[in-house]
């Protein structure tokens, strides 16, 4: 299987922003671990990050026919981006929504995701391991 891991707004700052929530590893370090994990299972993973909503929609749309699924951490866009929700709904690819933090234990506005109902599942609260669990869900 070939999985696309998409990271949204502000996730390029992982490792330097709010370390108590997001940890000290950079997104590149996390991606390297995910790539090694996928390859160790005989699969592959590619990575995309953007702070721009439209670019995230394009990445989701262009994944059709190229990937077997998507692991998506849309960041704050998860809470209000109908555009990203519609891009997910427009594809037949399974998408697993990921959050490093437990959004239900944070500010009230983070407790709702407009993406969840069009995703295969949601994994949150396990730091970088949320990505590993999401990736592994495709390999079961």
Residues annotated as catalytic are 22, 99
Coarse DSSP helix, strand, coil percentages of the chain, rounded to the nearest 5 percent: 50, 20, 35
d(CA 15, CA 31): 12
Alpha helices in 64-124 (DSSP H): 82-90
Q: At a CB cut-off of 8 Å and minimum separation 6, what does 27 contact?
A: 7, 11, 12, 14, 15, 49
Nearest by Cα to 49 from 102, 98, 4, 103: 4
């Amino acid at each position: 299987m070939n999985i696309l891991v998409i990271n949204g707004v502000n996730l390029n700052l992982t490792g330097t922003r709010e370390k108590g929530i997001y940890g000290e590893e950079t997104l590149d370090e996390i991606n390297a671990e995910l790539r090694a994990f996928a390859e160790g299972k005989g699969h592959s993973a590619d990575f995309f990050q953007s702070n721009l909503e439209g670019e995230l929609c394009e990445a989701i749309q262009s994944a059709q026919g190229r990937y077997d699924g998507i692991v998506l951490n849309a960041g704050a866009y998860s809470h209000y981006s109908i555009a990203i929700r519609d891009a997910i709904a427009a594809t037949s690819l399974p998408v697993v929504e990921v959050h490093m933090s437990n959004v239900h234990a944070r500010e009230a506005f983070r407790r709702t995701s407009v993406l969840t109902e069009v995703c295969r599942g949601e994994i949150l609260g396990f730091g970088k391991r949320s990505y590993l669990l999401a990736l592994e869900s495709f390999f079961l």
